[in-house]
Amino acid sequence: MKRLDFLIPYEAIEFRKITFVTMKSSHFILALSILALASTFAYASDPSPLQDFCVAINDPKDGVFVNGKFCRDPKLAKADDFYYSGLNVPRNTSNPMGSTVTPVNVAQIPGLNTLGISLARIDFAPNGGLNPPHTHPRASEILLVVEGTLYVGFVTSNTDNRLITKVLYPGDVFVFPQGLVHFQFNVGNTNAVAFAGLSSQNPGVITIANAVFGSNPPINPDLLVKAFQLDKNVVKNLQSNFWWPNN
Contacts for 92 with CB less than 8 Å, ≥ 6 apart: 100, 123
Collect all residues with Cβ–Cβ distance below 8 Å to 108 and sequence separation of at least 6: 84
- pLDDT for position 14: 52
For residue 124, the model assigns a pLDDT of: 98
Q: Is the predicted pLDDT of residue 67 greater than 70, yes or no?
A: no
Question: Could you report the per-residue pLDDT of 98-133, keeping only the tens digit for each?
Answer: 999 999 999 999 999 989 999 999 999 999 999 999
Q: Which of 226, 219, 224 is nearest to 235 (CA)?
A: 224
Quote the CA–CA distance of 44 and 208 in Å, as a whole number.
Answer: 29
- pTM of the predicted model, to two decimals? 0.77
Average of per-residue pLDDT values in the chain: 84
User: Which segments within 23-110 are labelled E, that is strand?
Assistant: 56-57, 64-66, 69-71, 99-104
138 vs 13 pLDDT, higher one: 138
CA–CA dist 186, 125 (Å, integer): 7
The residues with which 173 forms a beta bridge, in sequence order, are 144
The confidence score (pLDDT) of residue 34 equals 47
Per cent of the chain over pLDDT 90 is 66
**Please, which pLDDT band fits residue 40 given cuts at 50, 70 and 90?**
very low
DSSP strands (E only) in 88-223 = 99-104, 118-124, 130-135, 141-147, 150-155, 163-168, 173-176, 182-186, 192-198, 206-207
> What percentage of the chain has pLDDT greater than the value 70?
75
d(CA 83, CA 56): 13
Q: What local confidence, expressed as pLDDT, does residue 62 receive?
A: 57
Q: pLDDT digits over 176-204, tens only?
A: 999 999 999 999 999 999 999 999 999 99
